[in-house]
Structure 1
Amino acid sequence: MEAYQAVDEKTVDEETEDAVNQIRKEIFVSIFKATGSSELPAYISDDFGLISSYFIHDIENSWATNLFFTYLNHQIPQGELMKTDKTMKELIS
């Protein structure tokens, strides 16, 4: 997928990587406890890893921003993402 390729080879310092991995783990465990499924938590955890990469590397991508916006509106992405004109930084601020 193109969105993953844009950040695939980007690196971060160990502390940042550990923090992102901890957040992803917490997301996975929380969703797993709520659903009893391992598939959905894996997808959501991967999504937040991707969103984090775009934010950390200060890369704007409308698809990744819309993905984040969908989660911010308490929706699990299914097909069409919710749309926003804001940047990732604006959504986080």
Structure 2
Amino acid sequence: MITTSEILSRINDGVFLELVFKKNTDWDAELDSRDSIEFDSAWSASYEKITSSCPPEDVSIKEIRESAFKKVYQITKNSDLAGYVSDDLGLIAQAFKNEVDIDFINNLWKTYMQGSFPS
């Protein structure tokens, strides 16, 4: 698993999030697709598992969330999208930091790493 400092480095490397978000995409439609029962249920269940079994977010995870939000907003000017990405990367960082292995969260990370927005 990747460390929180490695996640933060990727967010700030000028490439990672740019590959995902510097595209001519209807981001509102992408966000709407995440409202599907399957995606929303899997995300919510993963979030519940993490929040119930891990300590609260620490400074490193808060920094990841803040950096992700700012970077995505800078690229897309879409605050809703930036919020979703911040939540995703915070969830990923929290799981990885606490060595919680959840397939859905691993797939979220893999999708971002492949240059796509999970939906």
Whether these two folds match at TM > 0.5 is yes
**How far does the alpha carbon of each residue in 1:12-68 deviate from its partner, in whole angstroms, 9 at most, with x for none?**
5xxx71111112111111110111110000000100111011111111111100010
Query: What CA distance in whole angstroms lies between the structure 2 residues aligned with 1:2 and 1:56?
Result: 18
- 1:3 maps to what in 2? 46
Match of 2:108 in 1: 67
Report matched runs for 1:11-22 at 5 Å: 11=55, 17-22=58-63
Distance 2:88 2:69 in 1: 11
- Going by fraction, where is helix more abundant, 1 or 2? 2
Alignment of 1:71-82 (within 5 A): 71-78=112-119
SS in 2 for 1:20: helix
RMSD after superposition: 1.3
Normalised to the residue count of structure 2, the TM-score between the two structures is 0.59
- Gaps of at least 5 residues in structure 1 are 79-93
Counterpart in the other structure of 1:37: 78
Once residues 61 and 95 of structure 2 are traced to their aligned partners in structure 1, the CA distance between those partners, rounded to angstroms, is 12
Structure 1 stretches of 4+ with a deviation exceeding 3 A read none
Higher RCO, 1 vs 2 (CA within 8 Å, ≥6 residues apart): 2
Aligned pairs, how many? 75
Work out the CA distance in 2 between the residues paired with 1:66 and 1:20: 19
1:23 and 1:48 map into 2 onto residues whose CA distance is 7
Structure 2 residue runs of 5 or longer lacking an equivalent are: 1-43
